[in-house]
Structure formats: C-alpha cells, structure tokens
Chain A
Amino acid sequence: MLPVIEARVDEPSLQIDPGLAARWLEAFLRDEMVERRGIGRAILGLSGGIDSALVAYLCARALGPANVYAIRMPYRSSSPDSLSDAQRVIDALGIQSETIEITDAVDGYLRHAADADPRRKGNVMARMRMLVLFDQSARRNALPVGTGNKTERLMGYFTWHADDTPPVNPIGDLFKTQVWALARHLGVPKEVVDKAPSADLEAGQTDEGDLGITYATADRILNLILLGYHDDAIAARGLDPRDVTLVRRRVDSTHWKRHLPTTALVSGTAINEFYLRPVDF
C-alpha cells in the first residue's frame, strides 16, 4: 500500500498579520489626512466599544496622541461602563478628550416625536452624535475619522448618514473578527476587547443579539459571499443554511446604505456617472 496524502481544502482565511495591518492603516491616515488634506488632527466619537477604541489607537500612532480628540457623547440611558471603558482608552493613549452629553438635544427633539420607537430613537441619537462630532471638528480644525467596520457595513447595521459620514475610515475594510485581532495586537484594554459589542442604545442590547448571529459566523459567511460563493456552497462548509440566508438577506437589502443618494440622471454630464473624478483629485 502506498501512503496517501490528502489535499487540505482550506476556507479562505480571515487572518491578518496585525503588525502589517497597523503599519498600513497608519500610513493610510497620514497620507489621506496630512498629505492630501493638510489636516494633522483627528476627532472621533469614543463610545467605549472596540471599533472606536481601535481607531483611537491607530490615530494616536499615526498622528501623535496630542493630535487626537476623543469625544464621549452619552445619552442618559447609556451604560456607565461605556464611559469608563472609553476613559481607559483615553488614559492609556494620553489623547485629548471631552464629554458632551446629547440627552438635552435628543430629548428636545423627541418631545415632538412622542411615537418614536427604540429604533427611531437610536437613529436620532446616532445622527445627533454626528452633528456634535462635525461641529467639534470645525471648532478644533480636526478631521472626523470613521469607526464603522466591514461587518456592520455589509450587514447594514448602522444609521445611514450618521456613523458612515466621516470622510476617512481606517477600519471599514476590516471584518469584526479582524478588528478584534488588530485591537489585541495594539494593546487595546482587555475590558474593551472582551466585552460583548453593543450599540448601547438600550439597556442590555448587544450587536449579536440584534443581528441574530455571532460575528465569528457572520464574518465567515460574509467573506464567502464576497468571494462569490453561492449559498449552498457556503452551507457545504459546515455553516447553518439559516445563518447563510440571514446574512445574505441583510447584505442584499442594504446595498443602498453603502451608496450616496440615488440621483435622477438627465444629462450626459451627470456627476459620478459621466463626469468622473477620483475623490483625491
């Protein structure tokens, strides 16, 4: 009998080399902010979660801690842990910070929207935070930096024209599991890395509870979808067909959230249709 060597069929990997990723993303921030826009200061909303913590670390490494402004924007129902976890990041990095409560502003509007359900309230909070962030950006001549990751962008798990508005985003092409890997490598506080991700819009809320799937599973499925695999081929890799369907539906129903508004084309010079110039031109 001859020995038989069976080929191993690996699933496309989500692993990253975190050292290389950090260098690449820091160079991105320096090039896109300092060299292209001439702005050496970053401002971001620091929620106490891992995404904004990671972005704070990348900005501090790329621009220096003195050039990073972290704005905490709690609502009255926000978890106290969010504030204290954000403080751990501020203290660890030595970045500048300010806390601006959005409760008065949000409640001021909600007095005129008594029928608002939790989802609408959450969107109002997200949009209020972006209003504050952009105003603070103008005040400090600092560029807002985005903190949305690839998983939530693909799942449509964000408020349109709120979380996605900053002009640069270093982690938008990293899946959530890759965000975790990079955050661990950079030394983001353990309390921030290990806690259950949450939009913190309601008490006890978690992302994975909202989405109905774990990030680890969602990322595997998303990666395979993006590589062109059909649902049955994805399920054949040991993934629950119900999970595959859930993720596919979320992606397919939210393409619009990853685009600018749909504009009626009436000419041969329509912007971004016929008149095509790159963003950095």
Chain B
Amino acid sequence: MTPLAALVQFKPRKGDVAANLAAMRDVFAQCAAWDERPALVVFPEAALTGYFLEGAVYELAFDAATMARNVDEQWRASGASGPGDVVAGFFENYSGAFHNSAMYLRCGEPGGPRIVHVHRKMFLPTYGVFDEERFLTRGRRLAAFETQFGKAAILICEDAWHAIMPTVAALKGARLLIVPSASPGRGLGAAGELESTTRWKAILSSAASEHGVYVLYAGLTGFEGGKGMSGGTCAFSPRGDLLESAGPLDACIIKIPLDLAEVDLARATLPLLGDLSAVLPDLWLDDEIFPQAAALRTEERS
C-alpha cells in the first residue's frame, strides 16, 4: 500500500507550549481515526510556540530529548495504535546554543521515542521583518538521513530558498525533502494568492523537478502581531507537479500519498541529478567559486 503523509497547516497559540502540544494530540487523534493511517505527520516550523518570539525564545526553548518526550506523549495519548513518524519545528536549547530546529521522530515505539534526526536551520533570515540571527545560532550541517521512505532531508524555511540546499540534500541521497516553514505572507497583488506563496511554490516545484524528489511543505497559519503566517501547505511530486495545496488562512491537514517508485521514474526520464553528480567535481574545484580552497592548496604545496 502506498504510504500516506499528513501535512498539517498549524495555527499555534503564541508562547503556549502546553496548548500547542494538546492541539498536536488532537491532530494525531484525527489521523488515527482515518481508514488509512498516515506513516508520516509533518508540522511546520516553530509549531510549539509560534514564530516571532524575540528574546522569549530563551524561555521557550528546550532540548531535543524533551521535545521527543513531549511529542511522543501526545502520540500515545491520542489513541494512535502503533508507531508513526512525526516531523515538527521547535526552538532548541542545545547546550546553551539556541537553534531554530525541526525533529524527525519515531513515536509510539515500545521502548519510547526515537529521534531519527534533528535539523538545525542553517540560513537564519535577518533582514526586514526577520531577526533570527539576533537570537539564534546557525546550524552547520545538512544531512540526508534514513527513514522508512528511504533517505530524507529537512530544510527549514529559508534553507529551501537557496537552490544549493535541495541540491546538496539530493546529492547526499535524499528522495524526500521535508520543509517546515513559518512564512509571513506578503504581496496582495497576485490574483487569488499571496505573492510570497507563488514564489514558494515556484521554488519548491523547481527543487522537486530538478532533483526528482518529493517535496512536502507544511506552513504555519494565523496572525502574530499583525504578521499573517501564509499557510500554503503543499506537496510536489518528483516531476515537480503540485499534488495538493492549502489556502493561506485556515488550519487543515493535507493527505499526500508517497509513491517512492515515482522518484526512480522521474530520475530516469529527467536524469539531471545524475548529470550533476558527474559534472559536480569540475564545479566544486573551480577556484573562482571557492578561492579559499585554492589558497589552501597553495599553502599545502609550499
């Protein structure tokens, strides 16, 4: 049977972790009642607190083990039978370094929750309405990690705006890109859709089709001090086709069947990732792109 992903367009209550965990439990309970239970449930960035916290991030961040325990408790309390995978964004206290993180977690296992991976956001927007790097530390690593679907990677919001990030993830073997996001909506000029959402969809579609990967995007919704989170939860096939999308304003769940054989078919018909693998060394070693590497080589020779 084709596994199902549930993408949750989530509307958190600002700063109220307990209320947001309870809302997460309600989502798990709703999914557990479906005839076909989702194998993966994806929540957006900063789902447990809301996005704009400023200095309050230090009050509301917790470590990965606490995050895993909290989410697993909701899973078990929801009536979900058996284990399942969950991705959710949270602010992480990592030994005194504070990160905008998202966890891939296996819930409901007999031995307790299993942290599969924690991605720490690498591109922290600090311009205009954004102020992340004032309060947070950059992540330093983009990983592709093993899941029940094969290798996956997490890109948090602006991570996905840099074309090299999906590229690196795909080169590392990812067949599934998971993008938890909190994107303040901008631009009312486009017909029927926020301009920022239109741009998101173009970026995600391009990443999916260039590398032959599924892209799952889960967006926050609701207003935070006048800034409306743009929702726009959506998924793209490995051929870059939009599979489904939500509007900007309401919390909802999108069901996406994940037929991983589509990844192979997409890559067979448009082998851009394979082409890139072949050409990459020529690009990678270009001194104009990486002058530091050239300098290092010069040092080594001398």
List residues of chain A with CB under 8 Å of any chain B CB. Answer: 13, 15-17, 19-21, 23-24, 27-28, 31-32, 35-36, 168, 275-281
Residues of A contacting B224 in the complex (Cβ-Cβ under 8 angstroms): 278, 280
CA distance A17 to B185 in the complex (A): 14
Instruction: Enumerate B204-229 residues with CB–CB distance to A below 8 Å.
Output: 222-226, 228
Q: Is the CB of A27 within 8 A of B225?
A: no
A19-B223 contact in complex given A278-B56, A281-B56, C-beta closer than 8 Å:
no
Nearest-CB residue, chain A, relative to B193: A20
| Closest B residue to A13 using CB positions | B189
Chain A residues, Cβ within 8 Å of B194 = 20, 24
Alpha-carbon gap, A35 to B228, bound state (A): 13
Q: Is the CB of A17 within 8 A of B223?
A: no
Q: Are B228 and A279 in contact (CB under 8 A)?
A: no
Q: CA of A213 to CA of B192 in the docked complex: distance in angstroms?
A: 32
| B-chain residues with CB within 8 Å of residue A15 when the two chains form the complex | 189
Do residues A32 and B56 form an inter-chain contact, with CB atoms below 8 A? no
Q: In the complex, what distance in Å separates the CA atom of A21 from the CA atom of B248?
A: 12
Q: Write out the residue numbers on chain B whose beta carbons fall within 8 Å of the beta carbon of A32.
A: 223, 225-226
| Nearest CB on B from A35, distance (A) | 8
A20 and B192 form a contact (CB under 8 A): yes
B193 touches A277 (CB 8 A): no
Chain A residues whose C-beta falls within 8 Å of the C-beta of B223 in the assembled complex: 27-28, 31-32, 36
The chain A residue sitting closest to B250, CB to CB, is A27
Binds A, one of B47-55, B82-90, B152-160, B269-277: B47-55
Q: Is B188 an interface residue (CB 8 A)?
A: yes
A19 in contact with B192 (CB, 8 Å): yes
Residues on B with beta carbons closer than 8 Å to the beta carbon of A35: 222
CB-based contact A16/B15 at 8 Å: no
Beta-carbon contacts under 8 Å, B243-258 to A? 248-249
B190 within 8 A of A: yes
Give Cα A58 to B191, complex, Å: 20
Known: A28-B228, A275-B55. 19 other contacts (CB 8 A): A13-B189, A15-B189, A16-B188, A17-B188, A17-B190, A17-B192, A19-B192, A20-B188, A21-B188, A24-B249, A27-B228, A31-B223, A32-B225, A168-B226, A277-B54, A277-B55, A280-B224, A280-B225, A281-B14
Docked pose: A19 CA to B191 CA in angstroms: 9
Q: Which residues of A contact B14 (CB under 8 A)?
A: 36, 278, 280-281
By a CB distance below 8 angstroms, the chain B residues around A36 are 14, 223
For the complex, give the distance between the alpha carbons of A70 and B189 in Å. Answer: 30
Which of A16, A23, A168, A281 makes the CB contact (< 8 A) with B53?
A281
Q: Given contacts A31-B223, A280-B225, A281-B14, are A24 and B52 in contact (CB under 8 A)?
A: no
Q: Residues of A contacting B248 with CB < 8 Å?
A: 24
* Inter-subunit contact A17/B225 (CB<8 Å): no
In the complex the two chains form, what is the Cα distance from A4 to B56 in whole Å? 58
Residue of A at shortest CB range from B13?
A35
Chain A, Cβ-Cβ closest to B54: A276
- Inter-chain CA distance A277–B194, complex, in Å, is 28
What are 5 pairs between A and B in contact, CB < 8 Å? A20-B192, A24-B188, A27-B228, A32-B223, A276-B54
Give the chain B neighbours of A275 by CB distance below 8 A: 55
Residues of B within 8 A of A168 (CB): 226
B185 to A, closest residue via Cβ:
A24
CB-nearest residue of chain A to B191 = A17
Q: Which residues of B contact A279 (CB under 8 A)?
A: 225-226
Interface pair B56/A277, CB less than 8 Å apart: yes
Contact A276-B55, Cβ < 8 Å, known A24-B248, A32-B223: yes
Chain A hits for B54, CB < 8 A: 276-278, 281
Across the interface, do B189 and A278 meet the contact criterion of CB distance under 8 Å? Answer: no
Q: Which 9 A-B pairs have the closest CB atoms?
A: A31-B223, A276-B54, A276-B55, A279-B225, A16-B188, A280-B225, A21-B188, A27-B249, A278-B52
Taking CB atoms, residues of chain A closer than 8 Å to B192 are: 17, 19-20
Which chain A residues lie closer than 8 Å to B228 at the CB level?
24, 27-28, 31
Return the contact of B15 from the options A17, A28, A276, A281 (Cβ within 8 A): A281
**Which B residue's beta carbon lies closest to that of A35?**
B222
A281 to B56 alpha-carbon distance, docked (Å): 8
- Contacts A13-B189, A19-B192, A24-B185; A278 near B225 (Cβ below 8 A): yes
CB distance from A180 to the nearest CB of B (A): 14
